Amino acid sequence: MSKTVSAARMGTEPLNPLLLSLAIPMMISMLVQALYNVVDSIFVSYVNEAALSAVSLAYPIQNLLIAFAVGTAVGVNAYLSKNLGEGNHAEADRAAANGLFLAVCSAIAFLLFGLFGARAFIHAQTSDALIARYGSEYLSICTIFSLGCCVQCMMEKILVSTGRSTFAMTTQLIGAVTNIVLDPVFIFGLFGVPRMEAAGAAVATVIGQFVGAGAALTLHFLYNKDVHISLRGFRPAPRTILRIYQVGIPSIAMNAIGSVMTFGMNAILIAYSSTAVAVFGVYFKLQSFVFMPVFGLNNGMVPIVSYNYGARKPDRILGTKRLAAIYAVGIMCLGFLAGQFLPGVMLSIFNASPDMLSLGTVALRIISISFLMAGFNVISSAYFQALGHGVLALWVSIIRQLVVLLPTAWLLSLAGRVELVWWAFPIAEVFAFVLCIAFQRVCYNKIIRPMRTAAAAA
């Protein structure tokens, strides 16, 4: 039997069932990921509002950690899938081994930050002693023990790149259930465990990540026959790492920009109150229920597009992108409706005070307007990455978050009304939407049209 029997289905199966078979398990796993992120904050909110604000202040670095873990893994996913499409199995194996090496390097970098920089980062944002203590403890644990997160993300993407998204979903479920079960134990001190409050949420998170990483490694070595990872005699391959980061660095940068945006928004909002910061943090947790399924859809789309890019099948590339965009817009429309009609219900889950409920209801209704365009924008960015043009996705992210969103939020904040700040989100999404349309045309002219021309001449 051919080594690529599983991966090769991405070049032959009907697109809709293929996309759904790859995307649905990842959408479920991403929803579970969103669930345990939200569960963390729900439990923390029952400690006090200071703990919830502290977790929000730690979020930019957490997001940066995820940026490096996921961005590197996305680069491996796209490059590995492209090599499988070209039939270059040796380079696909090399990409997987170097990807795992890069995941370990990222974890070492964040371990050093956790030891020497986490406390300073939190204290730079607040003078409240309780919030600073909670934030420092939480962030230090998440970064010092980041190896589980980095390895789990890498192995999930390797499983997805060979069409085994069900296994990737399974590892997410295992890690998430572990986290959810352990959250109340460590936060509130159950069964004889010391009460750790915000630090307990971090401990539960990193344990869940290590368990998920172990499950992913086990499933890969037992069942993934398309890619072989061997560390015997391993040496980093600079050429392979360069190709991985051609897609990976733009992806990392895009998510890192999100950390800069979050840090900037926290700085703007804390001038109003710590409640405004808590609302922004809760929004990020809630919006993950909408965005995470779309990111799962991306995870199903990228290997199909990358494989067919390597196999020179332009119609399958365009068909996959079109289907993914339709599904993504549908998901985001549901998110818009929830933001408009259920904001109070969603905020009450987080033990919201009357102040937080009043401020948060307005925020969710305004920000959710941006969801109407965000689905198309997210799929477009993944499409650019799958075609090896991650820089285009990076430009969309830079302009949306740094050139438009943050300056607009700051200008609106000068009016002295916090509700005006939230309008920066839909304004920025409009700019991103226009850019994505323009950049899709660039990709068509540079990649898809020459493929069709060559196919017609053959």
Which residues does the chain have with pLDDT short of 50?
1-5
Tell me, what's the pLDDT at 4? 40
Task: Identify the CA nearest to 162 among candidates 325, 318, 24, 302.
Answer: 302
Nearest-10 Cα torsion for 21, 27, 32, 34: 170
Q: At what angle do helices 274-310 and 354-367 cross, to 10 degrees?
A: 30
Tell me, what's the pLDDT at 36? 67
Tell me, what's the pLDDT at 319? 94
Tell me, what's the pLDDT at 8? 64
CA pair distance 262, 280, nearest whole angstrom: 9
CA pair distance 337, 67, nearest whole angstrom: 29
Contacts of 308 (CB under 8 A, 6+ apart): 10, 11, 85, 314, 316, 317, 320
Q: At what angle do helices 449-457 and 314-341 cross, to 10 degrees?
A: 150
Tell me, what's the pLDDT at 5? 39
Tell me, what's the pLDDT at 190? 92
Tell me, what's the pLDDT at 126? 85
Tell me, what's the pLDDT at 241? 92
Structure confidence by residue, pLDDT tens digits, 114-136 = 999 999 999 988 888 999 999 99
Tell me, what's the pLDDT at 1? 33
Task: Identify the CA nearest to 26 among candidates 211, 209, 153.
Answer: 153
pTM assigned to the model: 0.73
Tell me, what's the pLDDT at 71? 86
Handedness of CA 358, 136, 254, 100 (dihedral sign): negative
Tell me, what's the pLDDT at 3? 39
